[in-house]
Amino acid sequence: MHEYASAIALRYWLKKMGYPRLIIAGFLLFLFIMAPVTGSDLATQVTNVINRFSWNAVLVLAMVPMIHSGCGLNFGIPLGVLAGLLGGTLAIELGFTGPMSFVMAIVVSTPFAVLFGGGYGMLLNKIKGGEMMVATYVGLSSVSLMCIMWLLIPYRNPSIVMAYTGVGLRNMFALDSFYAGALSEFLKIDLNPLGINLVIPTGSILFFALLGLAVWAFLHTKTGTAMTAVGSNPTFARASGINVDRIRTLSVILSTWLGAVGVLTYQQGFGFVQLYTAPLNMTMPAVAAVLIGGASVNKASISNVIIGTLLFQGLVTMTPTVITALIHTDVSEVIRIIVSNGMVVYALTRKTEEAA
């Protein structure tokens, strides 16, 4: 009898976890077990995974508000990334250096994020039900418009403009004298002196924890509850006196702002700013991560973000070293493409979110 009950519990648990997530988690576990066998240092691997987690987690968090309010997966995250890039480059242009430039980057990017997010939110209100496709193309067209703007905005700072002509920003520039490591150097735990190759960027993780807590708390306020109501049943929400359009716009602004902060967090860890078409490469990892974490097109939580980012970034960082050592061929890039996009395709074909 007891065995029977536990079998049911197991099946329920399996169903709740979802097969793709289990397969990926199992694969990651396999990689961790194989890592010592192939001769790569486990501590280094763990450091890499934690590092990549701290870079990307905020960007993944940016998916949550829009999923909550029923706007679907935020394929328009490049818009937030652009706000962040504007904030970052303008802060540098204004002459800020060191960690102060990170604070200023967030401050400067905020009005852009509110502006972009507001316009984007109003557009999405006009096309309820078809958000995801339009969001994708809003992202694509805004990034290509900004490609022109990066050339036309008269930036002067010699460390970020093109070295040769002095007009237009570089494709990529280092942040060494600006906000590189602004968070990750804060309270950093480094076990290298003890002979263990483990580095934990405490500051970045704390920053993510802070933002995650803030979003969680926000979703439990009156406005946040209204957002969940709008997402799960817009008709009911309207009947109970909630201004659906306003709440949706608010969620889009929030997502866009988190995208802006997310890309700045990414850059401070990575140490470089990438411009022009680079923002487009930010979308898929973030969308795939939140889906792998167990979110669906209309449901997401902070724990989905944490689990998803760990699993996805674990996969991305572990496969190159471990699989390459195992079969002497680097298939990591292909695995990343198949897993991340396969995950999105899988999520789109789920019947449960038919309600939208």
Partner 1 sequence: MKLKKNFDGLDFLQNNLVPLMFIIICAVCIPLSGFSASYLINEIVTRMGRNIFLILSLLIPIMAGMGLNFGMTLGAMAGQVALIFVTDWQIWGIPGVVLAMILSVPVSVLLGLLCGKLMNMAKGREMILGYMMNYFVTGLYQLVVLYFMASIIPIRHASIRLPRGFGIRTTVNLANMRQCLDNEFAILYKGVKIPVLNFIIIGVMCLIIIWFRRTKLGQDMRAVGQDMEVAQAAGINVDRTRIISIIISTVFAGFGQIIYLQNIGNFPTYTAHSQIGMFCIAALLVGGASVEKASIGNVFLGVILFHTMFIVAPRAGVAITGDAMIGEYFRVFVSYGVITLALVMYEIKKRRARSQGGELLAQAQRARREGGAQS
Q: Closest approach of Cβ 356 to partner 1, in Å?
A: 8
Going residue by residue from 314 to 333, which x/- string records binding to partner 1, judged by CB under 8 A? ---------------x-x-x
3-state secondary structure of 191: coil
Residue 237 exposure: Cα atoms within 13 Å on the Cβ side: 22
Those residues whose C-beta lies under 8 Å from the C-beta of residue 43, and which sit 6 or more positions away, are 191, 196, 197, 198
Nearer to partner 1, 9 or 331 (CB): 331
> Is residue 128 a contact residue for partner 1 (CB under 8 A)?
yes
**Rounded to the nearest 5 degrees, what angle is found at the Cα of 286, between the Cα atoms of 244 and 83?**
70
Q: Give me the torsion for CA of 310, 335, 258, 113, rounded to 10°.
A: 170
> Is residue 296 a contact residue for partner 1 (CB under 8 A)?
no
64 to 16, 160, 196, 295: CA distances (angstroms)? 19, 33, 36, 9
Nearer to partner 1, 168 or 224 (CB): 168
Residues 275-294, interacting with partner 1 (CB under 8 A): 284
Nearer to partner 1, 54 or 283 (CB): 283
Query: Which single residue is written with the structure tokens 């939140």?
Result: 290
3-state secondary structure of 153: coil
Query: Which single residue is written with the structure tokens 């004298």?
Result: 177
> Is residue 337 a contact residue for partner 1 (CB under 8 A)?
yes
> Is residue 151 a contact residue for partner 1 (CB under 8 A)?
yes
Q: Left (φ > 0), alpha (ψ -120 to 50) or beta: where does 77 sit?
A: alpha
Nearer to partner 1, 96 or 248 (CB): 248
Judged by CB under 8 A, the residue of 103, 140, 219, 278 near partner 1 is 140
> Is residue 338 a contact residue for partner 1 (CB under 8 A)?
yes
Q: What's the full length of the chain, in residues?
A: 356
Closest CA to 207 of 58, 102, 43: 58
What are phi and psi for residue 226, nearest 5 degrees? -60, -40
Residues 47-76, interacting with partner 1 (CB under 8 A): 75
Nearer to partner 1, 137 or 272 (CB): 137
> Is residue 144 a contact residue for partner 1 (CB under 8 A)?
yes
* Beta strand ranges found along the chain (DSSP E): 172-174, 189-190, 199-200, 272-274
> Is residue 130 a contact residue for partner 1 (CB under 8 A)?
yes
> Is residue 138 a contact residue for partner 1 (CB under 8 A)?
yes
Q: Are 47 and 269 in contact (CB under 8 A)?
A: no
Tokens matching residue 133:
């496709």
Stretch of residues binding partner 1 (CB under 8 A), selected from 21-29, 57-65, 124-132, 306-314: 124-132
> Is residue 148 a contact residue for partner 1 (CB under 8 A)?
yes
Judged by CB under 8 A, the residue of 19, 137, 236, 272 near partner 1 is 137
Residues 212-231, interacting with partner 1 (CB under 8 A): none
Judged by CB under 8 A, the residue of 19, 190, 341, 355 near partner 1 is 341
Q: Which residues bind partner 1 (CB under 8 A)?
A: 75, 123, 126-130, 132-134, 136-138, 140-141, 144-145, 147-148, 151-152, 167-168, 284, 329, 331, 333-334, 337-338, 341-342, 344-345, 348-349, 351
